[in-house]
Amino acid sequence: MQRMENDPLKPRIVESDDGSHTLRVDALNEHYHSHKGAVQESNYVFLKMGLELFKEREHIRILEVGFGTGLNALLTALSANGPSVHYVTLETYPLEMDLVRQLNYPAIIARDQAETFFEAMHNAAWNEPVAIHDRFTLEKRATALQDLPTIDPVDLVYYDAFAPHAQPELWEPVIWTSLIERMNPKGVLVTYCAKGQVRRDMQAAGFEVERLEGPPGKREMLRATKP
């Protein structure tokens, strides 16, 4: 989508407390990540509390809601010794490459291949699987979660939508009933959000929900498991 220079919906880069960039959308009063530390939050909420549970598995399928900057995908592709990953990620407002190239994730993460994988992920074609390396396949879908057709069931969901105050439709009870149907038994959903209503709605959809300590600067987060 082409947006005007001073469009309040146009994301702009800001630095979070750990030195890594995040994006801010003024009109939504919302950041793409925690302003207390973007890389720190992604590593903690999605990798430590989610991906690590599957470290003994050979292969897993992940569904991410909100590709955005690609930070969660990049950290997952760089995580060593875990399962091979098929990563389906949804996005309704792809970022412009000019903006993506200014993000400091490869420099901050400072790992071999970070730059190459990051570039490859953002250049990857939409709506088809693309191998980023031999153990990580990325499938970017240019679709809203609400319009996602049937996909092969997933083991892990990175639920990284904008917060309920900014996008309430992505936190409605129907979201959790549709997601639980898309997951394998013992599948896990992790999100930075810890709202009581969200937790109760997840439980009503059939998930077993844990309230976990949050990343630095956030008291709690949620982890929901399909029985």
Q: Which residues bind ligand SAM (CB under 6 A)?
A: 32-33, 65-69, 71-72, 90-93, 144-146, 160-162, 167, 170
Residue 25 in tokens: 């959308």
Q: Specify the residue, 60 or 71, whose C-beta has the smaller distance to ligand SAM.
A: 71
The DSSP element (H or E) to which 199 belongs, if any, is helix 196-205
Residue nearer to ligand SAM on the CB measure, 53 or 144: 144
CB of 92 to ligand SAM, least distance (A): 4
Q: How far is Cα 63 from Cα 107, in angstroms, rounded to an integer? A: 26
In the complex with ligand SAM, the residue whose CB is nearer, 58 or 222, is 222
Q: Taking a C-beta distance cutoff of 8 angstroms, is the pair 153, 183 a contact?
A: yes
If the CB atoms of residues 2 and 227 are measured against ligand SAM, the closer one turns out to be 2
Q: How far is the CB of 227 from ligand SAM (least distance, A)?
A: 26
Give least dist CB 37 to ligand SAM, A: 13
Tell me how far, at minimum, the Cβ of 145 lies from ligand SAM, in Å: 4
Q: Would you say 128 and 39 are in contact if contact means Cβ atoms under 8 Å apart?
A: no
- Side-chain-side CA neighbours of 58 within 13 Å: the count stands at 0
Q: In what order do the strands lie in the sheet with 12-15?
A: 12-15, 21-25, 30-31
